[in-house]
Chain A
Amino acid sequence: MARYFIRMAAIVTAATFAVSVQGFAPQMLVKSAFTTSQRVAPMETSSSSLHMMELFDPATVSSASAMMDSASTLMSDAASGILSSSNFLSFTDQGQNLAGTFFQASLLPYLLFLYFLSFRANRISELGNFGFQFILIFVLSTIPSGIITKSIYGLSLANTDWLHGSAETLLTVANVLVVSMVLHDRICLRAYIYIYTWPISLSTFPPTLGPWIHTSHDQSGSSSREQGS
């Protein structure tokens, strides 16, 4: 049960992290890009920077700039910040458009998929299960790579070959893991537990399951012998 909690906590943390990074990473990045001038370029979408937007809104600042000399530099910097921030529309951080919404919304169903898939009675192999989970790492990887391609090269991830290829490698790795789930003609984990405990478990099973399990046990017995040799 403790493992269950730890796992759920890990998944929820990863999910929250993924969602929040998708939402706020551009803003963080813009922050770091403008640290020298200590000014923050507002992103239109991120809610937390809305009050910043009010502070640095070019329209409001321009009216104030007549009174304050420093405000004029503030305004121009903020305005250029807005201009450059429009370049930050990268592959994963497409918060404003349809694709971004779809990508973000697809996380929850995928977590549900992982939960139901790994149900113990489904008897999915460990490595295959891990492969489906590994897709999350791929999704996670496209976030920093999308940001880097935009901020450093001014390109989209699809046009930055080396990062495009390396990020997609993680997807391939996940697929290889998934494919490996049935490739190996090996008996999965549960079979071994069963073989070691079958005298006990046979007696506790519902009687209707008895013969069924017995047949399977015979098969697995022979397979395990083959494997042992």
Chain B
Amino acid sequence: MTNPDPPLVNKGRNIALGIAATFFAALAVGPSLGVEGHSPFLLGIGDLPADWTAQLPWVAHNEPINALSIPTWAIHFSSVIEYLFAMNLVWRYSETTGNESWKGLTWGMLPLHASGVCACTYHFFYNPSELQFLVSMQAGLTLLGNLTCALAAYRIAVSNGWTLNEANPFPKSATSPEGLVADALAAQPLVLNESAESTQVLAAKLAALTLAASYIVKYGELGIDLPFTPNPPVGLAMVVSIPAITAYQYYSLSKDGVEQDGTSKPFSLNLPSFGGDGENSLSMADVKKYGVAGTLAYVLTELAFWIVAFPVAATALYQSTGHWPDVVNETGDRAAVLGFIFAGANIARLFVPVRLGAALALAPWVDENLLNRDGGGEGKEEDSVIDVDRQQ
């Protein structure tokens, strides 16, 4: 069979099968070589020595014996991140192929993403039997996800001309027109979008993100009390909120129609960007049209927003816990503050259009009153504003 790059496909396949073979070999000989039950994966490369860990300023707990090693956490995070990436690629595949039904597969993959988050949450709490429901939930989400993926793939196949006759294993008549449309589609060349980043850059980004997440979770969670007492509501909230954010991103993407920028956005699990991230109809580009005045107005708006937002969040914490946040001494507060930052920043994202709109409204005022005060170099700014007016 002809193939665009047979060595590449075969190489990928052979490497994958080789890793699987290595796994089964290790499984067979590992226990007899004296590998212990709690021996870390890959000899725990990257793990900090226990006495170093104890000296970290925030550490308030000893690591349980069944804590995941850095390599195992890294494997988990890379799986989750790659799956998010794959969901994104499938979404973009609908644009490459012009077939909208691929987007259904991204939605179909969502329960499996949630299933992965479920497993990570279970490990975050050091696999307690009290949170066994997370394992059942993971299994349930796997079943649900496989069903939704099967349904999505069925819809893709049907949209490309699949009929029940395709499942008939017996040869059809040579004169039958059955399946010709599918054959025509199959023979159509597929021109894939070039990814904006090279594979190496993407791989480096993935590795960096994976390692950062592994270290932050493994050693960061020693500084908070939360993971050391099984907490079903918080566990459930983690399992619901992260996939909910992913779902919201695709929901807003499908509402906006087309992605703003053509570049790939593989890591859709963005931590809150403190500012507009251009996913809404108003974008930073609109503000930038106003030049220095626009940027300054934007900075002012952001400052005003966060000056209000931080005390509001702190007061909310005070209202719910009865005391002001103390992240230095109270290990319990750290989790609460982190939770508030996470929730607050995602609520703040909803206000991005408002903030951008305010910055836009403020820009002329800034231009007149702040930039023109000393009378130097104002002509350039005015020109840029006038240009924008003309364009509109």
Closest to B105 in A: A117
Taking a contact as CB atoms closer than 8 A, the residue among B12, B143, B145 that contacts A105 in the complex is B143
A159 touches B188 (CB 8 A): no
Q: How far, in Å, is A210 (CB) from chain B's closest CB?
A: 10
A123 touches B97 (CB 8 A): yes
Instruction: List, in ascending order, chain B residues with CB within 8 A of A162's CB.
Output: 30, 35, 39-42
Q: How far, in Å, is B132 (CB) from chain A's closest CB?
A: 8
Query: Is B308 in contact with chain A by the CB < 8 A criterion?
Result: no
Query: Is B38 in contact with chain A by the CB < 8 A criterion?
Result: yes
CA distance A122 to B155 in the complex (A): 11
A154 touches B37 (CB 8 A): yes
Instruction: List, in ascending order, chain A residues with CB within 8 A of B153's CB.
Output: 112-117
Query: Is A156 in contact with chain B by the CB < 8 A criterion?
Result: yes
Stretch of A21-29, A41-49, A67-75, A165-173 that contacts chain B = A165-173
A201 touches B187 (CB 8 A): yes
Taking a contact as CB atoms closer than 8 A, the residue among B72, B140, B180, B194 that contacts A165 in the complex is B72
B195 touches A119 (CB 8 A): no
A195 touches B139 (CB 8 A): no
A186 touches B79 (CB 8 A): no
User: How many B residues touch A, CB cutoff 8 Å?
Assistant: 88
B186 touches A220 (CB 8 A): no
Q: How far, in Å, is B88 (CB) from chain A's closest CB?
A: 9
Would A161 and B69 be within 8 Å (CB), given that A148-B31, A168-B75, A196-B2 are in contact?
A: yes
Q: Please classify the interface of chain A as helix (H, G, I), strand (E, B), loop, or mixed, using the class held by over half of its residues.
A: helix
Closest to A105 in B: B143
Would A171 and B79 be within 8 Å (CB), given that A121-B182, A161-B72, A164-B41 are in contact?
A: yes
Q: For chain A residues 156-188, which have a beta carbon within 8 Å of chain B?
A: 156, 158-188
Query: Is A10 in contact with chain B by the CB < 8 A criterion?
Result: no
A99 touches B86 (CB 8 A): no
B193 touches A185 (CB 8 A): yes
Taking a contact as CB atoms closer than 8 A, the residue among B37, B96, B136, B143 that contacts A182 in the complex is B96
Q: For chain B residues 199-226, which have a beta carbon within 8 Å of chain A?
A: 199, 202
Stretch of A32-40, A51-59, A78-86, A211-219 that contacts chain B = A211-219
B86 touches A178 (CB 8 A): yes
A167 touches B23 (CB 8 A): yes
Besides A98-B140, A152-B37, 11 new A-B residue pairs in contact (Cβ under 8 A), listed by A number: A98-B136, A103-B139, A116-B154, A121-B162, A137-B20, A144-B27, A161-B69, A171-B79, A175-B83, A190-B188, A206-B181
A-B contact pairs, 13 of them (CB 8 A): A99-B138, A109-B149, A110-B150, A116-B157, A119-B160, A161-B69, A166-B27, A173-B19, A173-B20, A175-B82, A182-B193, A184-B199, A216-B191
Chain B residues packing against A (C-beta within 8 Å) = 1-5, 8-9, 12-13, 16, 19-20, 23-24, 26-27, 30-31, 35-42, 44, 66, 68-69, 71-72, 75-76, 78-79, 82-83, 85-86, 89, 92-93, 96-97, 122-123, 127, 135-136, 138-140, 142-143, 145-147, 149-150, 153-154, 156-157, 160-162, 166, 169, 171, 180-195, 199, 202
